Chains A and B, each alone.
Chain A
Amino acid sequence: MLKKPRRAEQQEINSSSMSDIAFLLLVFFLVTTTISLDKGISLILPADGNELEVNRKNIISIVINDKGKVLMDDQIIKVKSIKSKAEKKIAGNPNIIFSVTTNKNTKYRDYILVLDQLKQANATKISIANPSSF
């Protein structure tokens, strides 16, 4: 008994739905992709134990208390006016350092507001003092 050799049928996978599948995957990735929400105020901390002596003339101290009131150069000023004041100071002395001192109970919000103002004035030299010195 001889077996008939099977006819080799040319079988192809139907590829017409391929584009649909690709579409579906595309939609999935479009939906799940999140535009990066990671943004904020960048700062580079000084290395540990790297303390420099700076001339007092080059320092402007900014003190924020726990109520959010700001003292700049021994004067109480509004948070909004820090930017213009800082700009003037930088124009007068490009090496100026802004030293931000806070109280233990100062709210983070107030601190960010002040930092934001300084950043808007393009201040690059910002120092953050420890609140323990209060």
Chain B
Amino acid sequence: MKLNRKNKSKSEISTSSLPDIIFMLLIFFMVTTVMREFEGLDVVLPRAEKIEKLESKRHTVHIWMTKEGLVSVNDKIVNISNLGDVMYTKLINDPRITVSLKSDDESRMELLTEIHTQLRKAQALKLNYSSLTKAEDL
């Protein structure tokens, strides 16, 4: 019994919708991209295991603190005694603010306590000690 071979039809994947797909991906990435806004100061972040992600990048204020005691808020060097006022104005503009504190491994607790006090004064209570996971090398 001979089997009738089916007509070999030239089957090609239609590429006409390719630009549409790419456009969609493009729009997705355009919407989700948040450009890195701040350069920051030179710090070596500590390492921890149980870490949580920050909820939203848009409602985050970054504070850098070097081991020399230099403090910057969103790339502006701030005198530590003014930190409370700076944070307070930020909090008025956006009440959902979380503070991401990027402090150096070697910095001293004296300075950190001062930051705590200033943040409490400004009522900016949501704090996140930025740290790396053990495996990461940065």
Contacts and interface: CB of A to CB of B under 8 A. Distances in A.
Interface string B46-62: 11111111100100100
B131 A130 contact: no
Contacts of A29: 26, 29-30, 33
Identify the 3 closest CB pairs spanning chains A and B, nearest first: A29-B29, A19-B19, A116-B48
5 contacts: A107-B105, A108-B107, A112-B129, A120-B49, A120-B50
B131 A112 contact: yes
Interface size class of A (residues with CB under 8 A): 35 or more
A132 B116 CA distance: 13
Contacts, number: 140
Interface of A: 18-19, 22-23, 25-26, 29-30, 32-34, 36, 38-48, 102-109, 111-113, 115-116, 119-120, 128, 130-132
Nearest to B108: A105
Interface in B18-56: 18-19, 22-23, 25-26, 29-30, 32-36, 46-54
B76 interface: no
Please tell me the size bucket of the interface on B.
35 or more
B72 interface: no
Given A39-B52, A104-B109, A26 B129 contact: no
B100 A40 contact: yes
A42 B127 CA distance: 6
A23 B128 CA distance: 38
A19 B54 CA distance: 36
A34 B105 CA distance: 24
Contacts of B106: 107-109
A126 to B, nearest CB: 12
B109 A19 contact: no
Contact of B123 (A26, A39, A40, A47): A47
Given A29-B26, A36-B57, A38-B100, A44 B109 contact: no
